[in-house]
Amino acid sequence: MTDNLLEVSGLKMHFPITKGVFKRKVGAVRAVDGIDLAVKKGETLGLVGESGCGKSTTGRLMTRILEPTEGKVLFDGRDVSHVGQAGLRPLRRDVQMIFQDPYSSLNPRHTVGSIISAPLQIQNIPTPNGLKSAVQDLLKLVGLNPEHYNRYPHEFSGGQRQRIGIARALALRPKLIVADEPVSALDVSIQAQVVNLLDDLQREFDLTYVFIAHDLSVVRHISDRVAVMYLGRVVEIADREQLYKNPRHPYTVALMSAVPVPDPARRERAQRNRVLLTGDVPSPINPPSGCRFRTRCWKAQDICATEDPALIPRLEDPASHQTACHFPVTEDEVVAGRRPAGAQA
Amino acid sequence: MSSTTTGTRPFLEVKDLTVRFETDDGIVQAVSNSSFAVERGKTLGIVGESGSGKSVTSLAVLGLHRTRSNAKVAGEIWLDDQELVTATDEDVRKLRGGKMAMIFQDPLSAMHPYYTVGAQIVEGYRVHHKGVSKKEARTRTIDMLARVGIPQPEKRFNEYGHQFSGGMRQRAMIAMALVNDPQLLIADEPTTALDVTVQAQILDLIRDLQDEFGSAVIMITHDLGVVAELADDVLVMYGGKIIERGPAADVFHEPQHPYTWGLLGSMPRLDRDVRDRLTPVKGTPPSLINLPDGCAFHPRCPYAGRNGNRSFTEVPELRGGVHAVACHLPAEEKRRIFHEEVAPNL
């Protein structure tokens, strides 16, 4: 057995585009288009990328809310790629999800008590002190008042609702939690409280997280390893420190340089070093040939249009730092404190 | 940022602005006694969380509460020596979209789905430029679309809002706001719905256009990073009040209000080493219908009660010179707490 809790290989999710009465298939949105990833026991893997890069779809494939078009999902060594309802039930005990929108992810007609106890009832989990006390323990755990057992979601603030979602995900004591933008709908101070809570829970229950977010600073804070996605692919993956200190893929470099730094004294330097990408992300219905980033890349050459770069270690990087790029950005380019040569202003 | 009455007034001066809404649940104290000023060519950043009163402040400047019968606006708003709170609806309407304009957060809902993007901008232009022909207005609009970096502006002119991507839609919004050369531009969370790479493009664009036209800009956001990028001066709002006000460098490097410390402590930052834990403010923001007595922040403040019970009973005034703060803690003690207890954890 490896120490990988979850492995996906060659994972693809193509959503068909249909036309006419007979739903003739005329194309496909290639939301996820060939991803290999492993999540180690006890770690937090961060998935970052901009809207439409396939990070949420990847999360939904990992939890098997979606069934992959191609490729495999192995949980704890077991292939769960295509198991049906009956096979999924035991998986749900081990893999849970936290959703982005704390407003639409809780049923407004159910009380907090029934929302949090639903997983326990569905899975027939025995509760020695009764269902109510099990739920109240969970509420306490996520920092909510256990007396509020009978309240409805609308009586809570956004941050508190997100805590309810976390309590529901924890009810079955899962091994893996996939959190899809769990804090992006929250105010800054509430965001930090929830991040700290997720941290504490991970320590207490030995949880493994896949943390999906577009905010690079939050992902850096919470993750042990980070994978950067672009147009349905992982373009770079590395340990946190390594990735943020030595980003190799031009897209990662551009993404990081775009994050505003909360320090007016560094404003000018930040702006000078900024790599501004032009144009929009191409459509995932018809992605560019070869490297998918080449249409917006300042380093692109002929080979980028013909050959799809493999996700492998580049330059002198350790085996754990893999980049899918023919012309990775070197340390000199990044560290010298100037815009990478040839990058657009 | 002084509010002296001698000499010339700042380009925009807001004095003791108070906005209340009467609702079935009670009176919402959206903004209380806020004073600030912005000069031409300068950017004021207003920071705060949901319900802190930052958007209401900007809507009041534009006079957008006038049509709401339950809104009560008091105080003075001076734009280029013209008072707006007591001005007639007609006078304010002439300024709105002309001398002052706004960029909204959600460009899809701020645009009309039935009209083409071009038609909407043309309309805005012709309202403020009577006697301009349709053709001239069209040329002006296409110029504007090109100025904000929209490729193929002639073609995009005839498209609808939903055919634009998020970033392009925000650019079109900016073109719409800028078509009449406004001297005051209010941007309410203009990049919140956008991806970081697009956000960088839009902030760059706002900066360039400001350099070119010398307008005053008010940038409203919850993102301290965005404020640090653009603002010359910063207001921090909490519970409908300004709790800290000053030049951006002072507010970011020597923040004086415990709430500002909490905001900075909540943010993981890429320019620092990873901290073990974030140090956010405890608790949740107050309801604007039932504001706590005394300092509105006291239920969440770790330092409330350090100097007797004043925090619980007495509303702190915004005091200080260029860098002002509304807090009962003595200045000396604040400085010590910030440098010894807060700054090491940021």
Give DSSP secondary structure letters for A11-72. EEEEEEEEETTTTEEEEEEEEEEEEEEEEETT-EEEEE--TTSSHHHHHHHHTTSS--SEEE
CA distance A118 to chain B (A): 28
The fraction of chain A above a pLDDT of 90, given in percent, is 74
B224 in a domain, yes or no?
Answer: no
Q: Does A240 touch chain B (CB under 8 A)?
A: yes
Q: Is the pLDDT of residue B169 over 80?
A: yes
Alpha carbons B20 and B240: distance in angstroms, whole number: 10
Residues of A in contact with B273 (CB under 8 A): none
**For position A272, what pLDDT does the model report?**
77
Q: pLDDT confidence of B3, banded at 50, 70, 90?
A: very low
Boundary residue ending a domain (B138, B161, B181): B181
Chain A stretch 5-64, residues whose beta carbon is closer than 8 A to a beta carbon of chain B: 50-51
pLDDT at B285 over 80: yes
CA-nearest of A196, A214, A216 to A261 is A216
Contact A260 B249 (CB under 8 A): no
pLDDT tens, A144-188? 999 999 999 999 988 899 999 999 999 999 999 999 999 988 888
Give pLDDT, residue A345.
40
Going by pLDDT thresholds of 50, 70 and 90, the confidence category of residue B248 is: very high
In a domain, B143, yes or no: yes
- Nearest CB to A261 within list B50, B270, B278: B270
Q: What tokens does B221 get? A: 């956001």
Domain of residue B296: give its range.
253-345
For residue B225, what is the nearest residue in chain A, using CA coordinates? A262
Which chain A residue is nearest to residue B226, measuring alpha carbons?
A260
Q: Is A76 on the interface with B (CB under 8 A)?
A: no
Please check the confidence at residue A337 and state whether its pLDDT lies above 50.
no
Comparing alpha-carbon positions, the chain A residue that sits nearest to B195 is: A50
Q: A185 and chain B: CB distance < 8 Å anywhere?
A: no
Tens of pLDDT, residue by residue over B322-345, are 999 999 999 999 999 999 999 888
What percentage of chain A has pLDDT greater than the value 70? 96
Nearest to A220 among B200, B274, B284 (CB): B274
Contacts of A196 in chain B (CB under 8 A): 277-278, 280
Q: Quickly list H helices, B107-257.
A: 107-110, 117-128, 134-147, 153-156, 166-178, 196-213, 224-230, 248-253
**What band does B165 get if pLDDT is binned at 50, 70 and 90?**
confident
Chain A positions touching B252 (Cβ under 8 A) are 262-265
**Exposure string for B244-283, b = 16+ CB within 10 A, e = fewer:** bbbbbbbbbeebbbbbbbbbbbbbbbbeeeeeeebbbbee
- Choose, out of B169, B196, B271, B273, the residue to mutate when testing the contact with A (most A CBs < 10 Å): B196
Residue B220 phi/psi, 5-degree rounding, is -100, 125
Distance CA A303, CA B110 (A): 43
Helical residues (DSSP H) of chain A, grouped into ranges:
55-62, 85-94, 112-122, 131-141, 158-170, 188-205, 216-222, 240-245, 250-258, 267-272, 302-306, 331-335
pLDDT at residue number B2: 45
- The three-state secondary structure class of A283 is coil
Confidence of residue A24 (pLDDT cuts 50, 70, 90): confident
pLDDT at A244: 92
Q: Which of A56, A257, A263, A278 to mutate to test the interface with B (most CBs of B within 10 A)?
A: A263
Q: Which chain A residue shows the shortest CA-CA distance from B268?
A: A217
Give alpha helix (H) positions in B179-296: 196-213, 224-230, 248-253, 258-266
Query: pLDDT tens digits, residue range A73-106?
Result: 999 999 999 999 898 999 999 999 999 888 889 9
pLDDT of A25 strictly over 70: yes
Domain end marker among B181, B203, B232: B181
Q: Note whether residue B116 is domain-resident.
A: yes
Q: Does the distance separating the beta carbons of A190 and B196 come in below 8 Å?
A: no
Q: Is residue B34 part of a domain?
A: no
pLDDT number for residue B209: 85
CB contact under 8 A, A260 and B197: no
Nearest residue of chain A to residue B276 (CA atoms)? A221
Residue from A188, A194, A281 whose CB has the most chain B CBs within 10 Å, to mutate: A188
Select from B234, B250, B261, B267 the residue whose CB has the most chain A CBs within 10 Å, as the one to mutate to test that interface. B267
Tokens of B36: 């600030």
Is residue B206, in this structure, part of any structural domain at all? no
Verify whether the Cβ–Cβ distance B50 to A195 is below 8 Å: no
Indicate the pLDDT class of residue B273, thresholds 50, 70 and 90: confident
Q: Indicate the residue of B199, B227, B269 with minimum beta-carbon distance to A258.
A: B199
Q: What is the pLDDT of residue A184?
A: 87
pLDDT at A78: 92
Percent of chain B with pLDDT over 90: 62
**Which chain B residues are within 8 Å of A160, Cβ to Cβ?**
284
Q: Give tens-digit pLDDT for A321-335.
A: 999 999 999 877 754
Q: Is the pLDDT of residue B214 over 80?
A: yes
CB contact under 8 A, A193 and B282: yes
Contact B333, B340 (CB under 8 A): no
pLDDT at residue B6 above 90? no
Question: pLDDT digits over A33-54, tens only?
Answer: 999 999 999 999 999 998 889 9
pLDDT score at A30: 94
- pLDDT tier for residue B204 given thresholds of 50, 70 and 90: confident
3-state secondary structure of A127: coil
DSSP character for B116? Answer: B
Domain count, chain B: 2
pLDDT digits (tens, 9 = 90+) for A264-306: 888 887 777 788 787 778 889 999 999 999 999 988 999 999 9
Using the predicted structure, report yes or no on whether residue A338 has a pLDDT greater than 60.
no
* Residues of chain B contacting residue A265, judged by C-beta atoms under 8 Å apart: 249, 252-253
Q: How far apart are CA B104 and CA B110, in angstroms?
A: 7
Of the residues B119, B149, B181, the one at which a domain ends: B181
In chain B, residues with a C-beta closer than 8 Å to the C-beta of A259 are 196, 225, 270
pTM, entire model: 0.89
Q: Which of A189, A217, A260 sits opposite B49 (nearest CB)?
A: A189
From CA B311, how far away is CA B329, in angstroms rounded? 9
pLDDT score of A236: 97
B272, part of any domain: yes
Contact (CB, 8 A) for A207 and A5: no
Q: Provide, as residue numbers in chain B, all residues whose Cβ is less than 8 Å from the Cβ of A257.
A: 200
Does any CB of chain B come closer than 8 Å to the CB of residue A266?
A: yes
pLDDT of residue B7: 59
- Asked whether residue B130 is domain-assigned, the answer is yes
Which residue among B204, B225, B282 places its CB closest to the CB of A259? B225
Residues of A in contact with B248 (CB under 8 A): 264
- Does a structural domain hold residue B152? yes
- Nearest-CA distance B301 → chain A (Å): 13
CB contact under 8 A, B224 and A188: yes
Question: B267 vs A258: CB contact, 8 Å cut-off?
Answer: no
